[in-house]
Amino acid sequence: MKALTYRGPRDVACAEVPSPVLSGDLDAIVEVTLAGICGSDLHIWGGHGFTDDIGFIVGHEAVGIVREVGAGVTGFAPGDRVLATASVGCTTCSECAAGRVSTCTSKAGKPWQSSCYGLGHALAGTQAEYLRVPNADVNLATIPDSVGDEAALVLTDNAPTAWYGCRRARIVPGDSVLVIGLGPVGLMSVQSAIAMGAGQVLAIDPVPDRRARAQAMGARAIDVGDDRKSQVRAVRDATGGRGVDAVIEAVGADATIDLALRAVRVRGRVSVIGVSQNNQFTFPMEIAQLKELDFAIGLCSAQAELPTLLALTENGRLDPGAVVSHRFPLSEGDRAYRMYGSRSDSVCKVVLDPRL
């Protein structure tokens, strides 16, 4: 089959690789109809990944059609239209049974890359013609007929991460909210905050087209350049000098996390969902303590968020497909990564189609 493989920094290539096969009774094989490139995939592509492996299939977002199931799979059958959750859980521990697969207890001592597709050879990625899904009853979800493939693809990871971040920020009706970073997760955070009843949503990103997308979704975009003091001043000006009630940080960079801590009001809430690999981040403890801040950070378990998100999408209160900007054949994956990495051509969410 065709698949995108990681060969080194800024180097992915479409290659012929062996097709996946069932490795146990709880597996399913899914024919991928769409795969997505996520912002965290760019960490791998840029050479700042989660493993020293090379030659593995990349990607962790996919929708498709079930083609084969193991004897122990009870919830799915060949022909079912499904999405594969980016977070991968087991069938034995209490955390996964509750949908909290990011804190799976049965994987202690095992390669942590097995908790997500495409982080190394432990679990092959989704940017391929076919995908093996372990523990299919936990890690697949049926796509309702009213939800299109592009919207369903965003529901595999970007939308659940955004909703999780807003939940952790405890947004309530009337709150003022700042979203920092307006890629697909940030834009879905704008939608999520509005769906939760936020009275005002501010949005910061250096890319004008992304600010325009956020504004079209109901946010007020802040355009004061990259100067942190000017950004904080603009947030305070927009909130009567207080700062916002809650901040969703969807970048994971030191500068944007610091901005979140400075832009939030006294006794405000900061929720970091951007992926940070910096173990030496200098946390401004004095600011956080004097403000009596709540600081939340974590990784989303898509399984826990999906029931709510599917209902909101079906009822038209969320529009996940609105973040999709480009579609490429799988064979042009290298070009797609380069476009996404350079933020050129008004790129937002990039979708790969193995059938083109």
Opening angle at CA 302, ends 309 and 108, nearest 5 = 165
The CATH number linked to 177 is: 3.40.50.720
End-to-end CA distance of the chain: 14
Q: Please count the structural domains in the chain.
A: 2
Are residues 183 and 269 part of one domain? yes
Average the pLDDT over each of 11-25, 72-86, 113-127, 258-272 and give the range with the smallest value.
113-127
Tell me the residue range of the domain where 138 lies. 2-157+301-353
Are residues 59 and 175 part of one domain? no
Which residue, 297, 314, 329, sits at the end of a domain? Answer: 297
pLDDT value of residue 144: 97
CA distance 76 to 79: 9
Q: Are 5 and 15 contacting, i.e. CB atoms less than 8 angstroms apart?
A: yes
Which residue, 297, 313, 337, sits at the end of a domain? Answer: 297
Are residues 149 and 25 part of one domain? yes
The DSSP call for residue 347 is -
**Predicted confidence band at 107 (pLDDT cuts at 50, 70, 90)?**
confident
Are residues 287 and 222 part of one domain? yes
Q: What is the pTM of this model?
A: 0.96
Are residues 84 and 231 part of one domain? no
> What pLDDT digit, counting tens, does each position of 322-331 carry?
999 999 999 9
Q: Are 354 and 330 contacting, i.e. CB atoms less than 8 angstroms apart?
A: yes
Which residue, 278, 297, 316, sits at the end of a domain? Answer: 297
Are residues 141 and 24 part of one domain? yes
The CATH number linked to 109 is: 3.90.180.10
CA distance 42 to 16: 22
Are residues 46 and 32 part of one domain? yes
pLDDT value of residue 319: 98
Are residues 6 and 153 part of one domain? yes
> What pLDDT digit, counting tens, does each position of 287-320 carry?
999 999 999 999 999 999 999 999 999 999 999 9
Are residues 36 and 55 part of one domain? yes
Are residues 213 and 96 part of one domain? no
> What pLDDT digit, counting tens, does each position of 173-183 carry?
999 999 999 99
Are residues 316 and 257 part of one domain? no
Are residues 267 and 305 part of one domain? no
